[in-house]
Amino acid sequence: MIDIKFLRENPEIVKENIKKKFQDHKLPLVDEVIELDVKSRKAQLEGDTLRSERKTLSSQIGLLMKNGQKEEAEKIKEQVQEINQKLEENEKLEATYSEQIKAKMMKIPNIMHPSVPIGKDDTENVEIKKYGEPIVPEYEIPHHGEIMEALKGLDLDSSRRVAGQGFYYLMGDIARLHSAVLTYARDFMINKGFTYCIPPYMIRSDVVTGVMSFEEMDAMMYKIEGEDLYLIGTSEHSMIGKFKDQILKKEDMPYKMTSYSPCFRKEKGAHGIEERGVYRIHQFEKQEMIIVCEPEESWDWYDKMWSYTVEFFTSMNIPIRTLECCSGDLADLKAKSCDVEAWSPRQKKYFEVGSCSNLTDAQARRLGIRIKGEKGNYYAHTLNNTVVAPPRMLIAIMENNYKPDGSVTIPEVLRPYMGGLEKITI
């Protein structure tokens, strides 16, 4: 959510930002907010005038009663009651305007960073840099699901019977590799100075609407029936929610946290959900990193965060590339975002394995996350980034380390977490 003062003073900038995101249907919201803002401030002024008048009259009542002028005092009391009635009506009006403004402001996208490329969707994202040499071996690489099944590490038939499409059973050394990746990711981020955290896996609706747009919420979140609770789609949700309605000390900034959690997503409208494999699924596990920091530090942290993911993947010799997300592919609360994609030698292309985003003060405004400054309180900036999200990460490991005999070599940095095992064999 952007600053209403900024919208009030720069309506054309806000409209241009909406156009660059190809969301022209939201353009009327700007003028609607400005009109409601005028009415709201007028109602606030009327309320202040009425309260001031009531205070003046109330002070007269005591003096009149003291002087024995009871009749005059009763007349003024009647005036005060009339003012109270007007105030009650006015306060209802103020609340109505406030709710209407907030509802519309929540739909207006965050102001993008000037460097964000303009494009309609993810097909127009811009490659930044490749890391590692993408290799296509001379021998055929099977589908990752086939590799994992041959290694007795994946059972999709049983999961369909138990939970339906989009779920899985991981077993044996494949399940162990899955856990090894997460444990390595945890230690990797702790060594970067981040505090490890295991957050709640469910959050309330006011946190959900604080961390994401309504469109994302509808497409992603699972609602717990009969409860004001949602299953998290990523631990960023509950990690940023941790700071809700908090005034943070300047000397404690920045907060650097890395979190583990299972994640649950509806993947509404997703293509290929029925396809065999573990690429697009309803349930997965993830190691995340989040930053809550001073506004002037957030872009430095943005560059550090995505570089950590690059370092993490290259430490396992997985070829990757970074992509700048274009305006049309940017979620409404994000000011800038880049994706990390891993190389698939079977498909001869890259696929998404992580994403880094700076949301500036958009989440902080929605959730009331402020920093106590010398000249008053101000909103913090929040950032998030995927460290790793297996089992999708397993696809990259399976394909890039597959051997002609059907075995999979375990990246060296993961072997200590696998009891020294060097490869998984049939």
pLDDT in tens, 84-131: 999 999 999 999 999 999 999 999 999 999 999 999 999 999 999 999
CB-CB contact of 416 with 179 (8 Å): no
pLDDT of 68 higher than 90: no
pTM, rounded to two decimals: 0.90
**Terminal-residue alpha carbon distance, the chain:** 53
- The pLDDT of 246-251, averaged and rounded, is 96
- Cα–Cα distance between 288 and 189 in angstroms, integer? 9
* Bridge partner residues of 423 (DSSP): 409
pLDDT of 64 higher than 90: no
pLDDT of 72 higher than 80: yes
Residue 396 has a pLDDT of: 96
- Cα–Cα distance between 181 and 73 in angstroms, integer? 78
pLDDT of 173 higher than 90: yes
Residue 217 has a pLDDT of: 81
- Percent of all residues in the chain with a pLDDT value above 90, rounded to a whole number: 85
pLDDT of 240 higher than 70: yes
Q: Which residue has the higher pLDDT, 143 or 270?
A: 143
Residue 214 has a pLDDT of: 75
Residue 148 has a pLDDT of: 96
- Cα–Cα distance between 102 and 96 in angstroms, integer? 10
- Reading the block at residue 311, the tokens are 């370092």
- What is the phi/psi pair of residue 201, to 5°? -95, 0
CATH assignment of 4-105, among 3.40.109.10, 3.40.50.720, 1.10.10.10, 1.10.287.40 = 1.10.287.40
- Reading the block at residue 250, the tokens are 């300047």
Domain segments of the chain: what residues?
Answer: 4-105, 122-424
Report pLDDT digits (tens) over 343-384.
Answer: 999 999 999 999 999 999 999 999 999 999 888 999 999 999
Residue 275 has a pLDDT of: 60
Residue 274 has a pLDDT of: 44
pLDDT of 273 higher than 60: no
Residue 121 has a pLDDT of: 95
- Reading the block at residue 29, the tokens are 């919201």
CATH assignment of 122-424, among 3.90.480.20, 3.40.50.20, 3.40.50.2300, 3.30.930.10 = 3.30.930.10
3-state SS, residue 155: strand
Torsion over CA: 239, 318, 270, 178 (sign): negative
Residue 61 has a pLDDT of: 82
- The pLDDT of 330-353, averaged and rounded, is 96
- Cα–Cα distance between 387 and 169 in angstroms, integer? 23
CB-CB contact of 381 with 295 (8 Å): yes
pLDDT of 272 higher than 90: no
Q: Which residue has the tokens 């717990």?
A: 224
- Cα–Cα distance between 67 and 71 in angstroms, integer? 11
- Cα–Cα distance between 155 and 276 in angstroms, integer? 10
Residue 187 has a pLDDT of: 98
- Cα–Cα distance between 19 and 13 in angstroms, integer? 10
3-state SS, residue 290: strand
Quickly state the pLDDT bin for 198 (edges 50, 70, 90): very high
Report pLDDT digits (tens) over 206-236.
Answer: 999 999 887 778 788 999 999 999 999 999 9
Helix (H) or strand (E) holding 344: strand 336-344
- What DSSP character marks residue 113? P
- The pLDDT of 142-158, averaged and rounded, is 95
The mean predicted confidence, pLDDT, of the chain is: 94
- The pLDDT of 166-178, averaged and rounded, is 96
- The pLDDT of 314-336, averaged and rounded, is 97
Torsion over CA: 375, 94, 44, 35 (sign): positive
Fold matches, 4-105 and 122-424: no
Indicate the pairing of strand 320-324 with strand 336-344. Answer: antiparallel
pLDDT of 269 higher than 60: no
Helix (H) or strand (E) holding 394: helix 392-400
Residue 69 has a pLDDT of: 85
Report pLDDT digits (tens) over 36-56.
Answer: 999 999 999 999 999 999 988
- Percent of all residues in the chain with a pLDDT value above 70, rounded to a whole number: 98
